[in-house]
Amino acid sequence: MKAEDLKLIVQDKYAEIASKSQSGNRSSCCGAEGCCDETDYSMLSEDYTALEGYNPEADLGLGCGLPTAFAGIKKGDHVLDLGSGAGNDCFVARTLVGEEGRVTGLDFTDAMLEKAERNLEKTGFTNLAFVKGDIEKMPLPDNTYDVVISNCVLNLVPDKRKAFGEIYRVLKPGGHFCISDVVLEGALPEKIREAAEMYAGCVSGALQKQEYLAIIREAGFTGMVIHAERKTDIPDDMLGKYLSPDEIESFTQGDSGVFSITLNAEKPGSSSLKSA
């Protein structure tokens, strides 16, 4: 499937999700109504409710980690959130940067941006903004941000080399990213990799872990640290849409797996990264 076709699938799926609440997403088995011909997004998600700045209206249960917890965000920082959705991570980051900092959320789905703007209007914050744009070609200036965060989004970007190249470009020298994402260990069954529905759910768009880390290094980042990693079990009823019972057993009992990881790395220069 062509990259632009995959992007349209992601836009359509996340526009649909934007119309639901977190409870609406999780009450079905699929992350959206029309149960069981959709992907279960909640199997990857983390609990944000204890984080300062948490905005329940912005939490659609779509993340696979807590990047703000490891990002070393300081008062006064300018933070960019890639694939900001309804603004969940942005509101948490805004608490960390304080009144003197700034937060920018980037997303390419109109319905998500509209939902984020509605959430923002209720807060009165003037140092948080949402921008429409493609992660592979951001409409943002060079050397601007102290910290880039992203939560279970880069899997949805067809060209991850372009994505990390753009992250490098917009970060200030000495700036850093902290990203939660999905990677693979071992082979994902071909039938799952080919399923556009699973792509929109972050699974079949995942790269092998070592390939993912190599792309980050190739982009020029240094000092990479993996802060959190956990295996994600894909439910058998979801696998059953693509695999036979024997294929499911082989996949689930083997060494292959889907993992969520949270990691950061730095753009060389005057370092702004503090220990997490």
pLDDT digits (tens, 9 = 90+) for 156-204: 888 999 999 999 999 999 999 999 998 888 877 777 766 655 555 656 5
How many structural domains comprise the chain? 1
Hey, is 8 helix, strand or coil?
helix
Residue 65: which H helix or E strand, with range?
none
276 in a domain, yes or no?
no
Q: Is residue 272 part of a domain?
A: no
CA proximity to 35, closest of 235, 184, 193: 235
Residues ≥6 apart with Cβ < 8 Å to 184: 206, 207, 208, 209, 256, 257, 258, 259
Contact 86, 116 (CB under 8 A): yes
Provide the CATH number for the domain around residue 262.
Answer: 3.40.50.150
Please tell me the pTM assigned to this model.
Answer: 0.83
Determine, yes or no, domain membership for 146.
Answer: yes
Q: What is the pLDDT of residues 56-97, one digit of tens each?
A: 899 888 888 999 999 999 999 999 999 999 999 999 999 999
| 125 in any annotated domain | yes
Q: Where are the alpha helices (DSSP H) in 123-205?
A: 160-170, 190-193, 196-200
Is 275 a domain residue? no
- Is 58 domain-assigned? yes
- Residue 271 inside a domain? The answer is no
In a domain, 197, yes or no: yes
The parent domain of residue 141 ranges over 3-266
